[in-house]
């Protein structure tokens, strides 16, 4: 595609996009703002967790209230229900953020107000919310640190490519794997957050010393959907990076072709000027020869 046509299209698109900010963009901003109280509550929670002090000193090992149901549900085990005001508030904030993520995309497509701002900040807001919640769950031992690290590495690579592609006006459409990943990861995080307090405290009673032993196996089971989401996330990321590299390659090829065309035009211009100069020199030499011959004829006469 010619450079002028592409730039004209991009400029026209930007004029339409910047005409109004749009509801979808405000939802994206709202999602980012929701992360401010989320971070504050998370820091307060960890502060209480470090001190080991709670209201009424119910449990020095946790920062939340709990209601213990000692009635056995499975042979030799029981569930201890943990209820934390701060924990559940943060979960509600995360769910609200994810709802805005699904709604703003629908609104943008319906109202045809897909903007450059939304293309950049919508996925960033999504990744910020998801990463913060995963870090929160990791510190509470409801999920595994390697999973979170792999998610963050993938997001940094993909979002870096996305921002650069937008700046270079390289259009890369979202693939179906990315949409599936978003749905699975969002629901997996909510499920882990809800089930975490129960699963973390699934215990068996050792008959010899009456000690409670935590089963990490149950934690693996609850994280299976998140692990599946991680695999799909990397599949979608690899597909996106392939499209990105293809777009960059096409961009470089176009630039190379344009440079060759410009060089050819410059060479042609130089050749034309050289030809014109040679023609002028020959013309001047011809005129000088005519004048010289005329002078000689006059002298003979």
| Together in a domain, 149 and 27 | no
Q: Is residue 81 within 8 Å of residue 67, measured between CB atoms?
A: yes
| Together in a domain, 223 and 249 | yes
| Together in a domain, 36 and 56 | yes
Q: Give the residue carrying structure tokens 């129960």.
A: 198
Tell me how many degrees the CA angle 281-283-289 measures, rounded to the nearest 5: 105
**Residue 267 domain boundaries:** 143-277
Half-sphere exposure of 212 (CA within 13 A, CB side): 10
Q: How far is CA 223 from CA 30, 45, 135, 138, 163, in A?
A: 29, 23, 14, 11, 31
Last residue within a domain, chosen from 113, 141, 169: 141
Last residue within a domain, chosen from 107, 141, 175: 141
Q: Give the residue carrying structure tokens 């709670």.
A: 54
On whether residue 189 sits in a domain, the answer given is yes
Q: Take residue 177 and report the two structure tokens written for it.
A: 């794997």
Report the candidate in 67, 62, 243, 256 with the shortest Cα–Cα distance to residue 164: 243
On whether residue 27 sits in a domain, the answer given is yes
On whether residue 6 sits in a domain, the answer given is no
Q: Give the residue carrying structure tokens 């999504």.
A: 126
On whether residue 1 sits in a domain, the answer given is no
Q: How far is 98 from 115, CA to CA, in rounded Å?
A: 20
| Together in a domain, 93 and 163 | no
Q: Take residue 240 and report the two structure tokens written for it.
A: 């996106």
Tell me how many degrees the CA angle 156-233-157 measures, rounded to the nearest 5: 20
| Together in a domain, 160 and 246 | yes
| Together in a domain, 174 and 273 | yes
On whether residue 112 sits in a domain, the answer given is yes
User: What is the pLDDT, as a whole number, of residue 229?
Assistant: 93
User: What is the pLDDT, as a whole number, of residue 296?
Assistant: 54
On whether residue 43 sits in a domain, the answer given is yes
| Together in a domain, 172 and 265 | yes
User: What is the pLDDT, as a whole number, of residue 92?
Assistant: 94
| Together in a domain, 148 and 273 | yes
Rg (Cα) of the chain, in Å, rounded?
A: 34
Half-sphere exposure of 45 (CA within 13 A, CB side): 22
On whether residue 104 sits in a domain, the answer given is yes
User: What is the pLDDT, as a whole number, of residue 40?
Assistant: 92
Q: How far is 239 from 107, CA to CA, in rounded Å?
A: 26
Q: Take residue 113 and report the two structure tokens written for it.
A: 């107000």
Last residue within a domain, chosen from 121, 141, 161: 141
Neighbour tally for 68: CB within 10 Å = 13
User: What is the pLDDT, as a whole number, of residue 73?
Assistant: 36
Residues of the chain with confidence (pLDDT) below 70:
1-20, 48-84, 171-172, 174, 199-216, 251-257, 260-261, 263-264, 267-268, 270-272, 274-276, 278-301
Q: Is residue 161 within 8 Å of residue 241, measured between CB atoms?
A: yes
| Together in a domain, 164 and 229 | yes
| Together in a domain, 189 and 76 | no
What stretches of 53-142 show up as alpha helix (H) in DSSP? 85-111, 116-139
The greatest distance separating any two alpha carbons of the chain, rounded to the nearest whole angstrom, comes to 144
| Together in a domain, 272 and 149 | yes
| Together in a domain, 26 and 101 | yes
Query: How many folded domains does the chain comprise?
Result: 2
80 bridge partner residues: 68
On whether residue 63 sits in a domain, the answer given is yes
Dihedral Cα 157, 160, 163, 166, nearest 10 deg = -60
Please provide residue 22's backbone torsions phi and psi, each rounded to the nearest 5 degrees: 90, 150
Q: Is residue 105 within 8 Å of residue 121, measured between CB atoms?
A: no
User: What is the pLDDT, as a whole number, of residue 22?
Assistant: 78
User: What is the pLDDT, as a whole number, of residue 101?
Assistant: 83
């Amino acid at each position: 595609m010619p450079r002028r046509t592409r730039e004209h299209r991009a400029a026209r698109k930007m004029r339409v996009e910047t005409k109004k900010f749009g509801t979808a963009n405000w939802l994206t901003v709202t999602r980012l703002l929701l992360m401010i109280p989320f971070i504050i509550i998370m820091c307060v929670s960890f502060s209480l967790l470090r001190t080991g002090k709670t209201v009424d000193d119910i449990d020095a090992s946790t920062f939340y209230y709990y209601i213990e149901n000692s009635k056995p549900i499975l042979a030799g085990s029981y569930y201890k229900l943990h209820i934390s005001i701060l924990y559940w508030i943060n979960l509600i904030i995360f769910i609200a953020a994810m709802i805005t993520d699904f709604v703003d995309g629908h609104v943008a497509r319906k109202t045809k107000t897909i903007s450059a701002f939304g293309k950049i900040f919508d996925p960033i807001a999504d990744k910020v919310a998801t990463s913060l919640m995963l870090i929160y769950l990791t510190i509470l031992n409801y999920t595994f640190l390697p999973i979170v690290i792999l998610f963050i590495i993938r997001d940094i690579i993909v979002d870096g490519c996305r921002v650069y592609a937008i700046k270079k006006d390289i259009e890369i459409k979202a693939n179906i794997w990315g949409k599936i990943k978003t749905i699975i990861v969002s629901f997996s995080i909510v499920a882990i957050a809800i089930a975490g307090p129960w699963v973390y405290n699934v215990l068996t009673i050792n008959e010899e010393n009456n000690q409670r032993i935590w089963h990490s196996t149950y934690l693996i089971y609850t994280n299976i959907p998140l692990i599946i989401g991680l695999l799909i996330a990397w599949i979608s990321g690899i597909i996106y990076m392939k499209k990105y590299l293809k777009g960059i390659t096409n961009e470089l090829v176009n630039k190379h072709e344009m440079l060759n065309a410009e060089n050819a035009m410059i060479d042609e211009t130089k050749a034309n000027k050289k030809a014109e100069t040679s023609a002028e020199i020959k013309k001047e030499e011809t005129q000088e020869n005519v004048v010289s011959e005329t002078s000689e004829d006059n002298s003979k006469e």
